[in-house]
Amino acid sequence: MSSLDELASIIDNAIDKKNNDELNIIIAIHTDYTETLLDSIEKAYCYYLLGNAWSGIRTAKHQENKSQAWSLEQEEVFKEIYYYRKAKLQNKFKDLSLELQVAINVNLANAFSHYGRTINAIRYFDKAIELKFFNKNITYHPNFILANLNKALAFEYYAKLEYDPNHAFIFSQFAYKILKETKEFLVICLQIYKDNPNYYMNIKNIVQEKIDYYKQYENIKNLEDLSLFKNYKTKYSTNEKKYRNWCLQNKLFLNPLNDLGNYQIASHDPLSLPNLTTSIDEGFPRFITYFNQIKQEYIANRHLLFEGLSKKTQKFYDKQTSITDDYDYNLYDINIEKIKLAFRGFYSIFDKIAFFMNEYFQTGLHETKVDFRKIWYDFDKQNKPKNIKLIFNQSENLALRGLYLISKDLFYSDKNSKDFLDSLEPEAEKLSDIRNHLEHKFINIKILNIVQYETVSDRKRNFYITEDDIKVKTLHLAQLAREAMIYLSFAVHIEESRKNNDGRYMSVELKTYKG
């Protein structure tokens, strides 16, 4: 590992000097080399270093030309995300030092936060912070300090996106709370790491500036009062409580407050569209109906997933059904079918969001060609995407950027544009294959990956996935769909706030009713 440590030092120096030529040379040499390695600590480390190199190029470019920071297409940040994700996917990732695991999670979170996927950034900051439970000494490590500080900043960004003033204030409360905790950590760091006091002192000054800002513009007594969270009570039956706690723990409620943690105050789904301005000729906007349907489908599929995972369904439904043993270790069960239905349902939400966007932003794409990957692009005569639509690329809408980045987590199978619309999710193609087989072909669910236990086999099998894998991937889709719906609501709010009322529009105040 000493050679890689040396490479890490070279990359750090090149980043400090903003030497993008050297970073590009390192990337050119080590990208292909890394792919030749077997799954190992070395491979995970190499992916991490490639992510760092791309991060350095991105930072230098944006400092030279700040307008590039608002461009939707940013190769550097996309590569950065891709390689950090590849590092995390290695089986030996958990064998890396805890400090390095924290660093990869923090750097990945920073990339998401920079681009606008604030919710996903918080998820990875949390993963970094959770590692302190394995080693309490890491609490005072530089990477952990940065995880804490940047999580507080992510909450600040969330507060700016959140148009509900009560929710926005709560995010500010949590940001302030984390900043104060970070300041306490830094005091101890200055006592421990006496050989590098300037580093910690600089971070401490940044934290203090943030705290002073809150003290100047907020009522500190109100800011520190978290009694609403501590004293919030709910009254649910045992089964409903189990369901709602599961939603909270997996951050599946259509409620931004769920991203703060497992607090009962977030155990419902208040997310809706903001007040809309619509043409007098149009009358009541159809987008409310669209969003209602997307929301209801998400909630229905969420409950299907819960039922499939909790195995609550009584067995009388197939009491006299005969299933022929195919000697291939396949599962045939209503709970598995519920998970499969939920997978299909969550995946379909992205195209419904694209349909909403196509009409709301008036992109002009024919409804038969609308999907979540195509919606962003203009196409040439050969039906190949040639550039991002100006209405999106010049929007400076942070929530819209988050949606665009989510679209790049989905695999695009059109052979004419596959290379152009690359994916940032290393397992995106597998997700697409699962959906394709669920919708149009056959898919087998197995208790385990039986092939690895067979010494000799030339058996032709249907496309298959293990039971554990389909569960994990469906939960991932559920979280991704939730994130996209929240960004859609925020993106519409940002666009609505920019509209000028010149007499041709009327404001429609949205009211809700309880289901």
The structural domains of the chain, ordered by start, are: 2-231 (1.25.40.10), 286-321+331-437+472-498 (no CATH)
Mean pLDDT throughout 151-163?
95
Give me the residues paired with residue 464 across strands: 444
Phi-psi group of 229: left, alpha or beta (phi > 0 → left; psi -120 to 50 → alpha; rest → beta): alpha
Mean pLDDT (the chain) is 85
pLDDT at 322 over 80: no
Which pLDDT value is given to residue 419?
47
Q: How confident is the model at residue 420 (pLDDT cuts 50, 70, 90)?
A: very low
- Angstrom CA distances, 3 to 10, 15, 42, 45, 55, stand at 11, 18, 10, 11, 21
Residue-wise pLDDT tens digits, 469-495? 889 899 999 999 999 999 999 999 999
| Location of structure tokens 């195919």 | 326
Mean pLDDT throughout 395-402?
91
Which pLDDT value is given to residue 401?
92
Reference 159, options 173, 148, 147, 146; nearest CA is 173
Give me the residues paired with residue 506 across strands: 278
Radius of gyration of the chain (CA): 24
Cα angle: 358, vertex 300, 276; to 5 degrees: 40
Q: What is the greatest pairwise CA distance in the chain?
A: 75
pLDDT at 447 over 80: no
Least confident stretch, 27-41, 184-198, 337-351: 184-198
Reference 271, options 46, 491, 47; nearest CA is 491
What is the separation, in whole angstroms, between the first and last Cα of the chain? Answer: 58
Quote the strand ranges of 316-432, DSSP E. Answer: 377-379, 385-388
Which pLDDT value is given to residue 416?
46
Mean pLDDT throughout 49-54?
95
Cα angle: 69, vertex 71, 72; to 5 degrees: 120
Give me the residues paired with residue 277 across strands: 507
pTM, two decimal places: 0.91
- Of 270-284, 313-327, 374-388, the range with the highest mean pLDDT is 374-388
Which of the two residues, 445 and 57, has the higher pLDDT score? 57
C-alpha 153/C-alpha 149 separation (Å) is: 6
Distance of CA 255 to the CA centre of its chain: 15
Residue-wise pLDDT tens digits, 169-210? 999 999 999 999 999 988 888 888 777 788 888 999 999 999
Q: What percent of the chain has pLDDT over 70?
A: 86
Quote the strand ranges of 363-514, DSSP E. Answer: 377-379, 385-388, 444-446, 464-466, 505-508
CB 267 within 8 A of CB 500: no
Mean pLDDT throughout 211-220?
89
Q: How many CB atoms lie within 10 A of CB 40?
A: 13
pLDDT at 140 over 80: no
- The dihedrals phi and psi of 127, each to the nearest 5 degrees, come to -60, -40
Mean pLDDT throughout 266-287?
82
Classify the C-alpha dihedral 272-276-282-284 as positive or negative: positive
Neighbouring residues of 24: CB distance < 8 A, sequence distance ≥ 6: 57
